[in-house]
Amino acid sequence: MTAIIGDRNRPLKHVQRARIVLLSGERLPVQVIARMTGLSRPSVWRWQCRFAEKGVDVLLREPSRKPGRAPVSAAEVQRIVALTCTEPPGAVTHWTGRAMAKPVGLSLRTIQRIWEAHRLQPHRIRTFKRSNDPAFAAKVEDIVGLYMDPPMHAVVLSIDEKSQIQALDRTQPGLPLKPGKCGTMTHDYKRNGTTTLFAALNVLNGTVIGRCMPKHRHQEFITFLNAVERAVPVGKVVHAIVDNDATHKHPKVLEWLSDHPRWVFHFTPTSASWLNAVESFFSIITRKRLRRGVFTSVSQLQDEIRRFINEHNGSAKPFVWTKPADAILEKPRRAPGASLQ
């Protein structure tokens, strides 16, 4: 053993095993031997047992191991990928790793590695909504044209309402953000009423005209249109982009339009609210002010909304739409059974 330890050409593992035998002969505890050799206690136990059973020779040669499993063949991988893209048997809705591993005779981790390599995620699903508007193509080209090439001497406004904004007050204060811990907020809350935000986004400069009102009816919508009419410079044509809500098509609203000939409504296709630019502003105010906000009254909620709009207008930038109409229309054309007018 001393010769093995003193041989500078010996592999480190041989030296460690010889030191285990020598230190064991001194009747040192296993924990002390493990610390002196830099190995774990199970390794010390294992080589003590092997030396006691087979002598010095076992220290200098590697013990035989059971043969490992052959790697999964390419044909088997393709079969698993194809099977994953089919409906699973029985009443289940999608494949799981264990449900796939059982019929193919592989381990769960092997199935997971194959799915990761081929970017398969059976547990996930994405929803979609396709517009059935017969004039979908014409409306998309009209609205995208207003965004990307607005007419001269005109104002392009994206108008919509964010209704039922709740003034929620938490039952107790949450804890602030700390290193390693996120902020907290109570799950329960107290409702203090609601308000509706009417907003008009000026596509040319990015500013927003907003009004908070208690209800979402055609009367409130006409009141908001009057406020926007006063804010828009005289002599400019107003192209307003609105969705197909019944409020926007009420006879009283159509009568108001006939009394204001410089206004032109451009309706988005059905099930295509993403085409209305003001929705991006609603997303911003929801994420930055409303979702985590604490409001003890509707008036406080309305004050915060007005304050946010003023801050937004102070640093507003023109709204930029980058995707042309042809690129938008190309995707639904590729869908099965697509028919765009």
With tokens 């409504």, the residue in question is 265
- The type of residue at 63 is P
Considering the domain architecture, whether residues 25 and 49 belong to the same structural domain is answered as yes
Burial annotation 281-304 (CB, 10 A radius, 16+ → b, else e): bbeebeeebbeebbbeebeebbeb
167 and 287 assigned to the same domain: yes
Residue 51: predicted pLDDT? 82
* pLDDT recorded at residue 61: 75
pTM of the model: 0.71
Regarding whether 329 and 224 lie in a shared domain, the answer is yes
Q: How far apart (Å, rounded) are the C-alpha atoms in residues 77 and 23?
A: 51
Using DSSP bridges, classify how beta strands 237-242 and 263-267 pair: parallel, antiparallel or unpaired. parallel
Residues 178 and 87 in one domain: no
Which are the contacts of 94, defined by CB distance < 8 A and separation ≥ 6?
88, 122, 123, 125
**Domain holding 12: CATH number?**
1.10.10
Examine the domain organization and report whether 111 and 149 are in the same domain.
no
Residue 181 lies in a domain: yes
| Claim to verify: residue 97 and residue 189 sit in the same structural domain | no
Same domain, 200 and 278: yes
CA atoms of 117 and 38, how far apart (whole Å): 38
Task: Say how many domains are in the chain.
Answer: 3
Give the DSSP per-residue string, 265-300: EEEPPTT-GGG-THHHHHHHHIIIIITT---SSHHH
In a domain, 33, yes or no: yes
Tokens 């790697």: give the residue. 71
Residues 157 and 277: their CA atoms lie apart, in Å, by 9
Q: Are residues 48 and 81 in the same domain?
A: no
In a domain, 250, yes or no: yes
Bridge pairing between strands 154-170 and 189-202? antiparallel
Domain span holding position 98: 74-117
CB 101 within 8 A of CB 95: no
Domain check: are 282 and 144 in the same one? yes
| C-alpha–C-alpha distance, residues 113 and 103, integer Å | 17
| Domain harbouring 158, CATH code | 3.30.420.10
Backbone angles phi, psi at 151, to 5 degrees: -65, 155
Flag whether 125 is in a domain: no
Is 316 found in the same domain as 189?
yes
In a domain, 67, yes or no: no
- The residue with tokens 């054309």 is 333
170, β-bridge pairs: 189
CB atoms within 10 A of CB 194: 16
Residue-wise pLDDT tens for the chain (341 aa)?
Answer: 777 777 777 788 888 888 888 888 888 899 998 988 888 999 889 888 888 888 877 777 766 777 777 889 999 999 999 999 999 988 889 999 999 999 999 999 999 999 999 999 999 999 888 888 889 999 999 999 999 999 988 999 999 999 999 999 998 888 889 999 999 988 889 999 999 999 999 999 999 999 999 999 999 999 999 999 999 999 899 999 999 999 999 999 999 999 999 999 999 999 888 999 999 999 999 999 999 999 999 999 999 999 999 999 999 999 999 999 998 888 766 665 555 54
Q: Is residue 206 part of a domain?
A: yes
Within a domain: residue 226? Answer: yes
Answer yes or no: do 53 and 105 share one domain.
no
Whether residue 78 is found in the same domain as residue 156: no
How far is 25 from 117, CA to CA, in rounded Å?
52
Rounded CA-CA distance 56/86 in Å is: 58
At 131, list the tokens: 């517009």
**Cβ–Cβ under 8 Å, residues 310 and 289:** no
Q: Kindly state whether residue 106 falls inside one of the protein's structural domains.
A: yes
